[in-house]
Every structure is written in structure tokens, then in C-alpha cells.
């Protein structure tokens, strides 16, 4: 990583709420160097000698992915979509299952006929979508399993002492 990118990373990760020690740990530099790089980038922005290259949104996505919140590309009847894993976790079971089935259907299509049914995304790489959708199937499958464990457990009833009938319903 070049110095300017490292300065930019220190600056934006600090803006995203990471403490200097956390920024330093991510870039494997000293805390003092992380603070110096952040200040140098901020000063460069202020005096106009530095033009933002990647911006806050880029560094926010880097931070999210480093923390395990991956961006998932999936397919539905309306085309290709992107969502953070944490956002997909909020979907209900039937929605996740429908997305999962759409992705599995996409993977089962004839590779030559894939884009007769779906519009090709920008900057199309013929193998990229299959790789992305395969990853989505694994991620969505894990989310469905978690949902099933959360929602599928039967609720326990309070144990009644032996020989006693449960209280009557009023």
C-alpha cells in the first residue's frame, strides 16, 4: 500500500469512529504513526494539496468487510442485487428462502443461456457472477439455518407438579 493510501485509510477509519490503536492494528503500524498519518491527510485536504481518492464510503465498506459483514450479490426475479449480510439477516425466513431458491435456480441454468433470462450486470465477467452467486448461496444458507434455529425451537411449557392438573383457562 502506498503512503497516500495509508494516510487516507488512517484518516477515514478514524472518522468512522475507530480509535488510533484500532487503526494502527488494522494497518500493522504504530499508534503514533496512525495519528501522524491521519493528521497529515487532514491537513492535505484542508490546504487542497490532496484530492480525495476513494472517500468515506469506500473505507466504510472496507471496515465492514474486515469485521465480517460481507457484501452479498444475489439474484431474484428482478435481476441482480447487492446487500450487506447484516441487512439480509433482518429478512424473514420466507424472503430468505425465496432468494436462496432464485440463486440456486440461477446456478442450475445453462451457462450459455443465463443472460437470456437476466440482464447482464455492468462490467460483465462470465465467471464472476457464478462465483458471487455461489458465495451468496452459502451465506444465505447459513442465515436460513440461523433463522430456523431461532424461530423453529418449540416453546417450553412450565412443568406442572405430578398429580396436579394444569390451571383452568379463564
Mean pLDDT, rounded, for 50-78: 80
- Is it the case that residue 67 has pLDDT exceeding 80? no
Number of structural domains found in the chain: 2
Pair 107, 144 in one domain? yes
Where helices occur in 48-127 by DSSP H, the ranges are 55-66, 85-88, 93-108, 114-117
Confidence of residue 30 (pLDDT cuts 50, 70, 90): very high
- % of the chain exceeding 70 in pLDDT: 78
Same domain for 24 and 56, yes or no, is: yes
- Mark whether 76 and 147 lie in a shared domain: yes
**What's the mean pLDDT in 16-28?**
88
Reported as a pLDDT band with limits 50, 70 and 90, residue 39 is very high
What's the pLDDT score for residue 85? 87
Q: Tell whether the model's pLDDT for residue 81 goes beyond 90.
A: no
Q: Is residue 19 over pLDDT 80?
A: yes
pLDDT given for residue 111 in this prediction: 61
Q: 66 pLDDT exceeds 90? A: no
Residue 113 is classified by DSSP as: T
pLDDT at 151: 76
Position 161 in a domain? no
The residue among 92 and 64 whose pLDDT is bigger is 92
Q: Would residue 158 count as lying in a domain? A: no
Of 30, 50, 66, which one is at a domain's C-terminal end?
A: 66
Within a domain: 168: no
What range defines the domain where residue 121 resides?
Answer: 71-152
DSSP state of 72: E
- CA 28/CA 16 separation, integer angstroms: 18
Q: Is residue 96 part of a domain?
A: yes
**Amino acid 113: pLDDT:** 60
Q: Do residues 131 and 83 both lie within one domain?
A: yes
**Residues 30, 24: contact at Cβ < 8 Å?**
yes
Asked, for residue 166, whether it belongs to a domain, the answer is: no
User: Per the structure block, which three cell numbers stand in for 31?
Assistant: 499508534
Amino acid at each position: 500500500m502506498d503512503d497516500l493510501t495509508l494516510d487516507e485509510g488512517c484518516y477515514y477509519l478514524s472518522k468512522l469512529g475507530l480509535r488510533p490503536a484500532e487503526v494502527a492494528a488494522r494497518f500493522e503500524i504504530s499508534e503514533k504513526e496512525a495519528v501522524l498519518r491521519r493528521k497529515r491527510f487532514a491537513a492535505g485536504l484542508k490546504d487542497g494539496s490532496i484530492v480525495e481518492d476513494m472517500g468515506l464510503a469506500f473505507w466504510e465498506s472496507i471496515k465492514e468487510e474486515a469485521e465480517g459483514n460481507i457484501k452479498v450479490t444475489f439474484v431474484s426475479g428482478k435481476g441482480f442485487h447487492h446487500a450487506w449480510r447484516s441487512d439480509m439477516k433482518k429478512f424473514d425466513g420466507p424472503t430468505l428462502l425465496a432468494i436462496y431458491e432464485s440463486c440456486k435456480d440461477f446456478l442450475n441454468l445453462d451457462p450459455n443461456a443465463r443472460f437470456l433470462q437476466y440482464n447482464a450486470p455492468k462490467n460483465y465477467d462470465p465467471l464472476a457472477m457464478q462465483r458471487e452467486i455461489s458465495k451468496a448461496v452459502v451465506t444465505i444458507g447459513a442465515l436460513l439455518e440461523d433463522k430456523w434455529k431461532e424461530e423453529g425451537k418449540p416453546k417450553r411449557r412450565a412443568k406442572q407438579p405430578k398429580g396436579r392438573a394444569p390451571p383452568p383457562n379463564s
